[in-house]
A and B are shown apart, each in its own frame.
Chain A
Amino acid sequence: MSVRRLILYVMLTAGAVSFIYPFLWMGSISLRPMTEFQDLGLFSKNFTLANYQAVFDRIPIGRAFMNSCLIAGTVTCSVIFFSSLVGYSLAKLKFKGQGAIMAIVMISMMIPGQLTLIPLYQLIVYFGWADSYLGLIVPSLMSGMGILIFRQTFMTIPYELMEAARMEGAGEFQILRKIFWPLAKPAIVTIGILTFMGSWNEVLWPMIVVHEKAMMTLPQMVVLFTKGGESGGQFGVEMAANMMLVVPIIISYSFFQKYFVEALASSGIKG
């Protein structure tokens, strides 16, 4: 029995190493001079920030970072706000057309995004939003999945709480703000994480609508940097750029690991 257990642990540990080591190696390479790019170990006497310096010298990566923060932040706030409004209407109000709205939400989630990609791009061009924050942000302001998660959460909140509040003169928006939002914090965290991550990690859409460096998002810029030759094929510099893409997420993940796992696990409902 304990031999079996030992074998299990050895295998699990080997697995874990294969998941962590690449990241550690990436970090290590990003801190080492170019000459050591063939070294597959983690340590060196020659750690240096030169690669990071090179990244900052060659591309406006700080700007890209700010762009990504701004875009993902705006999209996340908007998705939480508007999805909760719609989720509340679908879960707790009764009005004509409610069933139709629910059906539309479901349909909009069932249709693959590839269908609308090209027409959406043309729409953005038509609005004159190419190479602008509007083009990056506006199409993602709403989310069907956010609506479904809020609807599900809100359905579990008893009607009596709303009625008690209504009897005190609270309007629908006050009920949402003072009762439903505080009670739905876990759902807000889930949707917040999913939306922020989705927006932060997205590359295809930015690659379609943005070509100006100043408007690029972080992943887009890092891809362009490594792909487009500005890195000069230098491992260390590429990895330094990549680190800047990965580290913020790893830091948030290590603090809020539980929430990340729960949030992504609940994304399974959209399947």
Chain B
Amino acid sequence: MQGLELKNLEKHYSGNDQPTIRRFSAKFEPGEFVVLVGPSGCGKSTLLRMIAGLVPVSNGAINLDGKDITNVESNLRNISMVFQNYALFPHMNVYENLAFGMRIRKEATQTIEKTVTEAAKILHLQDLLDKKPGALSGGQRQRVALGRAFVRKPKVILFDEPLSNLDARLRIEMRQEILKFHEQCGAISIYVTHDQHEAMTMADRMIILNQGVACQTGTPEEVYNNPVDQFVAGFVGSIPMNFIHGRGILNEGRSFFQVGSYKIDLSHIGKDYQLDWSKNSGGLTLGVRPEDIYLDEHYSHAVAPSPKMAAQVKMVEYLGDSTIVHLEGDIGSFKSRFNKDLRVRKSQKLDFVFDLKKLHLFTEEGNKLPC
């Protein structure tokens, strides 16, 4: 089988009670760009380091192109890594940084020169070869780090938050460069980031990791529109999904979501839930993304508007391209995202509707109910 396959990987650091990575399985096709996201400390770096061979695997196997590399030395794996702080050798110039691995492997000077020149050309580093990393800008250092990964001609490139040290504008520029670089290498790229935009825009596929467990794998659209559970729903999206905590009730054979006096008929959501709400105390969480909440007068945008609900404006964040409005109503507080042309004032009272087709329902355990 071509590609990278992780089978039931586990990592248990000695000294920790809980394993850091639990039964992690995934397959990566050649040429794929996979983004790994998850909250801080969930084990993303650990996973990359296991793949890289920097951290021994406690359990499970890693196969690359059908070969078991679980116990192969890091340098024999055909895998490169781009570190968050670039990990350039500060006392060597760019040329020596790129040549480092080949020098360790005692390759011929001509080979080294040829390979470095090629990498420098691809990454536009020709004029920087004599400089030390300290004399480079953040973006240039990043390109050197990419170059160092490139000269190995790896099958897999691992990126551990490579852009997090750059300023916002440069980050957007480098995203494109990295994607271009990814295409030129033709390798599998596994990319860790904290940045939602980065994850959504770059990924062919996303893997969401929580406490060492892969919660969901899918294209950015799938993950955004059909999160498998409340964690993924809350984690993906630059403005988190609103969660409204209420109860499910059964009324004359029909299921309703109720919070205070506000009620939504769940049969409108698409499915008739013939569930016995009384069983598990009936707790139910409604998830709705800020952009799926509409002002009553604009309800025509919503395909299937919910009943109206009143709320008061607590705060307005004007972002330029859109406006985030913090609201407080009978159902609790929530945020909504509006078109930039909409003008609302603090303390204003307004009526809102949800788009029923875009609602998500979660049980008390955070599991998703089918919609």
Q: Residues 177-214 of chain B: 1 if any A CB is under 8 Å from the residue's CB, otherwise 0?
A: 00000000000000000000000000000000000000
CB of A169 within 8 A of CB of B104, answer yes
**CB-CB < 8 A to A161: which residues of B?**
87, 89
**Min CB–CB distance A175 → chain B (angstroms):** 10
Quick one: which of B84, B90, B101 contacts A168, CB cutoff 8 A? B101
CB of B75 within 8 A of CB of A183, answer no
A160-B83, A174-B104 known; A167 vs B74 contact (CB < 8 Å): yes
CB of A167 within 8 A of CB of B89, answer no
Q: Residues 71-102 of chain B: 1 if any A CB is under 8 Å from the residue's CB, otherwise 0?
A: 00111100111011101011100000000110
- Bound together, the chains give a CA A245 to CA B87 distance in angstroms of 47
**CB-CB < 8 A to A170: which residues of B?**
75, 100, 104
8 Å CB contacts to B: which residues of A161-208? 161, 163-170, 174, 178-179, 182-183
- Bound together, the chains give a CA A182 to CA B91 distance in angstroms of 7
Q: Residues 43-84 of chain A: 1 if any B CB is under 8 Å from the residue's CB, otherwise 0?
A: 000000000000000000000000000000000000000000
Taking the complex as formed, is B241 at the interface, i.e. its CB lies under 8 A from any CB of chain A? no
A161-B87, A179-B89 known; A166 vs B105 contact (CB < 8 Å): no
Taking the complex as formed, is A119 at the interface, i.e. its CB lies under 8 A from any CB of chain B? no
Q: How large is the interface on A (under 10, 10 to 19, 20 to 34, 35 or more residues)?
A: 10 to 19
Q: Which residue of A lies closest to B49 (CB)?
A: A163
Taking the complex as formed, is A97 at the interface, i.e. its CB lies under 8 A from any CB of chain B? no
**CB-CB < 8 A to B74: which residues of A?**
166-167, 169
Taking the complex as formed, is A248 at the interface, i.e. its CB lies under 8 A from any CB of chain B? no
Q: Which residue of A lies closest to B75 (CB)?
A: A169
8 Å CB contacts to B: which residues of A142-163? 158, 160-161, 163
Taking the complex as formed, is B148 at the interface, i.e. its CB lies under 8 A from any CB of chain A? yes
- Bound together, the chains give a CA A5 to CA B87 distance in angstroms of 51
Quick one: which of A158, A163, A169 contacts B101, CB cutoff 8 A? A169
Our count of residue pairs bridging A and B at CB distance below 8 angstroms stands at: 58
Taking the complex as formed, is B53 at the interface, i.e. its CB lies under 8 A from any CB of chain A? yes
- Bound together, the chains give a CA A163 to CA B46 distance in angstroms of 13
**CB-CB < 8 A to B53: which residues of A?**
167
CB of B85 within 8 A of CB of A183, answer no
Taking the complex as formed, is B54 at the interface, i.e. its CB lies under 8 A from any CB of chain A? yes
Q: Which residue of B lies closest to A175 (CB)?
A: B104
Taking the complex as formed, is B266 at the interface, i.e. its CB lies under 8 A from any CB of chain A? no
Query: Which of A158, A164, A170, A178 counts the most chain B CB atoms within 10 A?
Result: A164
**CB-CB < 8 A to B81: which residues of A?**
163-164, 167
- Bound together, the chains give a CA A169 to CA B91 distance in angstroms of 19
Taking the complex as formed, is B52 at the interface, i.e. its CB lies under 8 A from any CB of chain A? yes
CB of B104 within 8 A of CB of A164, answer no
- Bound together, the chains give a CA A170 to CA B74 distance in angstroms of 10
**Min CB–CB distance A157 → chain B (angstroms):** 9
Quick one: which of A164, A169, A183 contacts B83, CB cutoff 8 A? A164
**CB-CB < 8 A to B84: which residues of A?**
160
Quick one: which of A168, A178, A182 contacts B75, CB cutoff 8 A? A168
- Bound together, the chains give a CA A168 to CA B85 distance in angstroms of 17
Query: Which of B49, B79, B89 counts the most chain A CB atoms within 10 A?
Result: B89
**Min CB–CB distance A256 → chain B (angstroms):** 21
Q: Which residue of B lies closest to A170 (CB)?
A: B104
Interface residues of A (CB under 8 A from B): 158, 160-161, 163-170, 174, 178-179, 182-183
Known: A164-B87, A165-B100, A169-B105. 5 other contacts (CB 8 A): A158-B85, A160-B87, A161-B87, A164-B89, A182-B91
Interface residues of B (CB under 8 A from A): 49, 52-54, 73-76, 79-81, 83-85, 87, 89-91, 100-101, 104-105, 148, 152
The 3 A-B residue pairs with the shortest CB-CB distance, nearest first, are A169-B75, A168-B101, A160-B87
